[in-house]
Amino acid sequence: MSKVQEIAEMSKKQENKWSNFAFRIIVNSASHPFEYAKVLIQIGYEPIPPRPAKTFFGKPALKLPNIFQYVKHIKSVDGFVGLYTGLAPKLCGNLLSTIAAHKCAEFLNLGDEEEELEEETEEQSKKKWIKSMKSDLITHSLTVIVSQPFHVITVRMMAQFVGKETKYCGLFTSIREIYHDNGILGFFSGLVPRMLGDVLALILAGSLTYTINRYFIEERELKVYTGATMNFLSSAIMYPFQVVSNCMAVTNSGLAIGSPAYMPHYNSWVQCWLDLSKKNQLKRGSSLLVRYYVGPSITIGGKPLPITKESNFIS
């Protein structure tokens, strides 16, 4: 390949990288209101009381509002603009992650991957997979670390909805508040469970994809779908780490949602995990369309009713 062709190829890759990032910005912006509602659910805030309903099998239950009803409630309180609270720091974190991933790929020389050979031996395939997995783990871990401060800011901006605070009203103001309240470590609140969940999901998805494609699927066309399916499955299994990470991002932050009676002041993410596990709350927010209340309840006249600490909070 001539020098001119190399430059043209590099220019094309650069354009594709930034066009993909622009597409991600559009997608993230469009889906942000739903992500906002999901974060509030994950940290345990339920502003709309559950109503008596029945499960698919006809058993009495308490049904919580779906994600669309939750978004509608946020809009009714803060208006349309309020639906995009926390979008700016989230996009900053995404930009920094993209740059970090690109630089890491350059450092590890991941630009040109070898094409899969038709008659690839098991040893060659295994070595190739291990090399790819190591590179993915390094790159992914780096992107999580560099984006965590912006993730914390985003979650705390969203969490202000509960107590109607205004502590985190801008990027630089939020940086000052986090440093004042929690010091440097405050910018990395919830980092360990977030990284642990992402890394375990990556390892699980990669291992399952390799095993299935190598030993169970022969059709090349079907192998394309294995990775996406395994990524979805592994993300669902590791979902509790997301809940714990976002709870750790707001606990003892000076916000109403991060303090008793809404939430205990957790000293570690393990303590948070054990507490949520005891309350059967590790999967909250995993289902966004059909949601059932799983907290303490009492049955009166054949109808289940929730037992709550606050009129707008379900423990």
Mean per-residue pLDDT pooled into runs of 10, the chain (315 residues):
49 62 84 96 93 82 93 96 95 91 80 53 83 91 96 97 93 94 94 96 94 86 88 96 97 93 94 95 92 73 59 41
**Any domain includes 312:** no
Count of domains forming the chain: 1
Let me know if residue 150 belongs to a domain. Answer: yes
Residue 89: which domain range? 3-111+118-306
- Check residue 122 and give its pLDDT: 76
In a domain, 206, yes or no: yes
Residue 7 domain-assigned (yes or no): yes
Rounded-to-integer distance, Cα 157 and Cα 165, Å: 9
pTM attached to this predicted model:
0.86
For position 4, what pLDDT does the model report? 45
The two structure tokens encoding residue 283? 């999967």
Token couple for 196: 């642990």
Residue 313, domain member (yes or no): no
Residues facing 60 on adjacent strands: 54
- Give the dihedral of Cα atoms 273, 276, 280, 284; nearest 10 deg: -90
Residue 166 falls inside a structural domain: yes
CB atoms under 10 Å from CB of 15, counted, come to: 10
Q: CATH code at 74?
A: 1.50.40.10
